[in-house]
Amino acid sequence: MRSFIVLLFCLISPITSFAGEWRLALCHGQEATKDDLKYRNAIGLSASSVFSAIDPKAVTTMKVRQCVQEPDLACYADDTAIYCREESFSQLIRIAAWLAAERAFIFVSREGSPATLGVAPSLTWTDAYLLADADRYPDAGKLNRVANQVTEQRGLSADSLNAIYSLYLDIHRHINNNTEVDPDNAYLNVAIAVYRASLEYAFAFLLGHEAYHFNNNRCHIQSASIIKSKGIWSVIRGLQLKGGLYDTSNRLDTVELKADHCGYKWLQTVSEKTELGANKVLNTLARKAAIDLLASPLLIGLKGRLEKNIHSNVVPAVKVLPGYLYPQSRLALVSATLRLTEPKSPHVVKLCNEVSKAMVSIIQDAVTHYPDSSGIVPDEVLAELPAGVEKSWNGAPWSEKSHVCEIGE
């Protein structure tokens, strides 16, 4: 069983920066709900697992306190520690569990066959976000309202959603209490495998970025990233410079750029080391789930909101961070990293279905509002989207099929 050390914040030693010890300080605001504070074990397990994958000799120390200064974002870091909002990480944990529970039903019902990967999930990344958010309140009414909305919009029966919810609760019960899973419980075993792997991918990127700052703005991984060696990094970075696709008014800060690049190196390392048993489909499914999971913190933030557009579809109110790459670029690079480290089915490890719709909507919106846009979506971005998107941008009618990732692409 993996373990980590939890200390009170006052026990912090005077050592600063990385010295063989990864320091994660969780803090919560006064408005944190009881539910926000119950995933400490889950956060610690995923964080320590990522830190161990990056440096097996390093120690992970986690500290908990009330926020003295409340970051609006999920995390920030300096040379004393990586500071993260417990509410935000708890939301990430809940989203991961919703996604994993639904994907487990898809996987088990198809007996883990490759056909699993061609199924468009009924529960989208925004559904998981809304359900996870509703579940943080003690009043069950909010969760019921969101559940009704999801069943109506997705054609999912109430029984199916209840079964997913039941599995979601089982994931938390086992993770929070460190209990072993019955090996005969196929649904729970698959759900926990997808949950753990997808969460570790998400933590790898988020903590890798912050670890760069904690480590005095140095990346713990020296080797070149796969996205840089393939030329994807420079193309996507260039979209935000003069002559590119996006508005240059959000100027790129080199420190944040390098911190992000470090996050992608961490993600690559964890992805290359993750092996969920003999079934390759399960590995692929976990990488797909990680993309859906990371869509929330990157596109809208974990304290974000969702809005209805004129077509009554839920679209993200995109959270742009000054100095950073645009959210759509950050998510495209997550997709590229996971796709390029996927050994079996890279064609389906990309921005598919509802995430593809969100990406298309965000890219089109960004281009429409930037008169100096080059208007050219480069191949490096198209490679992360389903083939149907390029066809539709070239004149084919838009449909659900435009956003489906085909196994045989």
- Which residue in the set 114, 238, 304, 346 belongs to the binding site for another protein (CB under 8 A)? 238
Is 231 a residue that touches another protein (CB under 8 A)? Answer: no
Q: Which is nearer to another protein, 72 or 111 (CB)?
A: 72
- Which residue in the set 21, 35, 247, 253 belongs to the binding site for another protein (CB under 8 A)? 253
Q: Which is nearer to another protein, 375 or 408 (CB)?
A: 375
Is 322 a residue that touches another protein (CB under 8 A)? Answer: yes
Distance (Å, rounded) from C-alpha 233 to C-alpha 155? Answer: 39
**Residues 6 or more apart in contact with residue 290 via CB below 8 angstroms:** 197, 198, 201, 202, 334, 338
Q: Which is nearer to another protein, 34 or 251 (CB)?
A: 251
Least distance in angstroms from the C-beta of 248 to another protein: 8
Is 320 a residue that touches another protein (CB under 8 A)? Answer: no
CA distances from 127 to 8, 98, 191, 374, 393 (A): 35, 9, 17, 34, 26
Angle between helices 254-273 and 40-54 (to 10 degrees): 90
- Which residue in the set 28, 103, 172, 237 belongs to the binding site for another protein (CB under 8 A)? 237
Is 374 a residue that touches another protein (CB under 8 A)? Answer: no
Stretch that binds another protein, among 76-84, 88-96, 131-139, 307-315 (CB under 8 A): 76-84
DSSP string, 76-112: EE-SS-EEEEHHHHHHHHHHHHHHHHHHHHHHHHTTT
Least distance in angstroms from the C-beta of 275 to another protein: 33
Q: Which is nearer to another protein, 276 or 321 (CB)?
A: 321
Phi, psi of 22 (to 5 degrees): -85, 125
Contact 345, 405 (CB under 8 A): no
3-state secondary structure of 63: strand
Q: Which is nearer to another protein, 19 or 115 (CB)?
A: 19
Least distance in angstroms from the C-beta of 323 to another protein: 5
Q: Which is nearer to another protein, 287 or 319 (CB)?
A: 319
Contact 366, 229 (CB under 8 A): no
Q: Both tokens of residue 347?
A: 């064609």
Residue holding tokens 């609760």? 169
Contact 89, 24 (CB under 8 A): no
Is 66 a residue that touches another protein (CB under 8 A)? Answer: no
Is 210 a residue that touches another protein (CB under 8 A)? Answer: yes
Is 220 a residue that touches another protein (CB under 8 A)? Answer: no
Residue holding tokens 């489906």? 404
Is 390 a residue that touches another protein (CB under 8 A)? Answer: no
Stretch that binds another protein, among 91-99, 116-124, 163-171, 249-257 (CB under 8 A): 249-257
| HSE-CB for 165 with a 13 A CA cutoff | 20
The DSSP output letter for 310 is T
Least distance in angstroms from the C-beta of 270 to another protein: 22
- Which residue in the set 67, 73, 235, 387 belongs to the binding site for another protein (CB under 8 A)? 73
Is 216 a residue that touches another protein (CB under 8 A)? Answer: yes
Strand partners, 28: 66
Is 358 a residue that touches another protein (CB under 8 A)? Answer: no
Distance (Å, rounded) from C-alpha 64 to C-alpha 399? Answer: 47
Stretch that binds another protein, among 58-66, 247-255, 341-349, 351-359 (CB under 8 A): 247-255
Least distance in angstroms from the C-beta of 15 to another protein: 15
- Which residue in the set 57, 242, 308, 311 belongs to the binding site for another protein (CB under 8 A)? 242
3-state secondary structure of 346: helix
Nearest partner of 285 among 375, 195, 207, 210, judged by Cα: 195
Using CB under 8 A, count the residues that bind another protein: 33
Residue holding tokens 């995390």? 75
Q: Which is nearer to another protein, 142 or 228 (CB)?
A: 228
- Which residue in the set 21, 55, 79, 272 belongs to the binding site for another protein (CB under 8 A)? 79
**Residues 6 or more apart in contact with residue 282 via CB below 8 angstroms:** 107, 112, 190, 193, 194, 276
Least distance in angstroms from the C-beta of 161 to another protein: 35
Residues that bind another protein (CB under 8 A): 69, 71-73, 75-79, 83, 210, 212-213, 216-217, 237-238, 241-243, 249, 251-259, 321-323
